[in-house]
Every structure is written in C-alpha cells, then in structure tokens.
Amino acid sequence: MKVCIVSASPKVGNKKRNIKKMKKYIDKEEADLYIFGEMFLTGYVCREEIFSLAEDGEGDSIREIKEIAEQRNCSIVFGMPFEERKGMVYNSAVLVRPKGIGIYKKNFLANFGPFEEKFFFSPGNDMPVFKVKNFNIGMCICYDIFFPELIKGLVLKGADLIVCISASPSITKIYFERVLPARATENTAFVVYSNLVGEEEGLSFWGGSQAYTPRGELIDKAEYFKEGYIVCNIDEEELKEARIARPTLRDTKADLFLDLYSIAKNKDVFNENVKIGIRIGEKIKGKVNEIDVYGNEDVAFGIKLSTGCNKINVIPSKEIKVIVDGKEMGAES
C-alpha cells in the first residue's frame, strides 16, 4: 500500500482553505492513503472557536473530503473537532474512504505546559480499528503515542499500521523521535507520523513527518520546519518477517493488563477468582446461551468477561467448576 504522509500548515479557523491545501497535496502524488496532522481541518489553537467550527459525520467538510476520496479512489486521514452530540466535541482523527468514514476520538488529552485540551474537548474511550486496502489501521493522536497500552490494544485488536497525527511543537520533538520507533518495534507494526508545520499562538510545530517498519527502522522522514511530504510503500510481508523474528504479539500476557488495571484503580478489581473465571471462559468454544458456575460471583464475572454470555447461574461452592451443555469443566480443565 502506498502511503503519503504530509507535513503542512493549516490556517486557523479557515476550513475551506485547509481543504484546498489537502487537495493540493493529494493532486501532487498518487497514493492509496494520505495523512494530514492533528486538527488540520481547523488549525490547532482555536480555543472557544472550537465549538462553532466542530462538525458531525454529516458535516459539509467531511462530505467535501469524501468527494475527493471518491474521485481519487483513495483514503484520507486528517484531524478535526468532531461533534458527536450537541456540545460534546472530541479532538478526532477522521478516516475518509470512498465508501464511508471512521472516527477515532483522542483518549489522552494534553493539558499541561502550553496545552489546554481538557478545557475544550471531551476524552475518547475506545480503540477502533479500520480497514484500508489489505491493512487494518489503528489511529492515535499526538500525546496518545506515549501510552503504550493504547497502541498495544490497537495492535491486539488487529491493527497492522498505526497512524499517529500530531500538533507537536519544537520543545517535544526529541520525545516523539524516541517513542515512535519504540512503538513500532514493541508491537511489530508499521508506524507513520504526520505533524503540523508553522506557528500558532507561540507554538512552533516542527513537521518532520516520518514512517517506521515493524522492526523500528526509519523508512523516511520529511524535513523539519518545512511544508512537504514523504511517500512510502508498506508491504504485508514485512509484518510476517518481523513477527516471526520477534513474536511480541504472541507472547503478550493478557493477565498483566488485568493487573495494570487494578494498580491504576488502586484496588484489586481483577482478583484471583476473576482470573480463574477468565481462564475457564477462554476454553469455552463457540457461543453459549447459558452457563452454570459452581464457585462464587467473582468466578462468574470472569467467565462473563471472556465469553460474553449474559445468562450465568451461580451455585455457591468451595469447589470451582462449570457446566456448559452438560459438560463439566474444572479450574484446571
């Protein structure tokens, strides 16, 4: 798949002009996927104006960009303020394809130093994965990339390519260039990064859009502090080779994520009985409508998490066992 990653400077508050700039880059280079930076549709520093600039999935801007995607038979990723409900605006990455759109809402809003995102945006709370050509794509936005659990989650859900769009000022450049190849290496996934260029309210965006292989090797990088773009071809075979050579996905331990959740919440949310239930549930194949659980509520909760079965009958017992379709399963089955 051919990917064009753009470093460009949007005009704050001028959506029409910014769409014209997107089209200019799309017309310059033929590609399957074009990527523009965080909040590219409106500019990054919009403050209260965000609420009047925001659009939903049926807005004029997305419709216009969808027309471009249809005409060029390509997909386009860009940042914008997305209004999911009246007054609920999200810093979002929008994937526009000829036959539909996908939305990722920024999970980790930057609200420190020069950043004020929590004053204007609601935080996202999901990890969607989308299909473009033969690749599954997960998206993240700027500060998100510093949370490895988010990127790991996207890759475990099937993402082969992580698209990170950004509005990173020059003071943060060193951190991004350390963490981007790390995310590619630890997840054996392609990582591509599109950053803004130019000045907004004292922030100087450094550009430098770049791409990495699943081994963390730099494919290409755009110039710093200049508008421009890079083009790279990503190949599924590289994923296969990297994952055989360093099987981090195969060796990921789901139980550690349960422990991390408990640590973050400062309480034992997933105790040993819940984990036993999860392990039992993972061995139950196919869809089941009803399960009898001998044990306790925690074991039943773990089984529900891993099977999705809503009808679980709990029979209090010191011995833990499960009956599914007349077949008994113990804790060590």
The residues assigned a catalytic role are 38, 106, 142
Beta strands 135-141 and 327-330, pairing class: unpaired
* Distance separating alpha carbons of residues 122 and 111, to the nearest angstrom: 12
SS3 category, 209: coil
Alpha helix (H) residue ranges in the chain: 15-28, 50-53, 60-72, 148-156, 173-187, 236-245, 254-265, 272-282, 297-307
The conformation of residue 49, written as its DSSP 8-state character, comes to: G
Cα dist. 95→32, 36, 142, 204 in Å?
Answer: 12, 10, 16, 26
Burial of 253: CB neighbours in 10 Å, binned 0-12, 13-18, 19+: exposed
Cα dist. 291→45, 190, 215 in Å?
Answer: 53, 41, 43
For residue 75, what are its two tokens? 């997909």
The conformation of residue 29, written as its DSSP 8-state character, comes to: S
Residue of 108, 27, 22 whose CA lies nearest to 61: 22
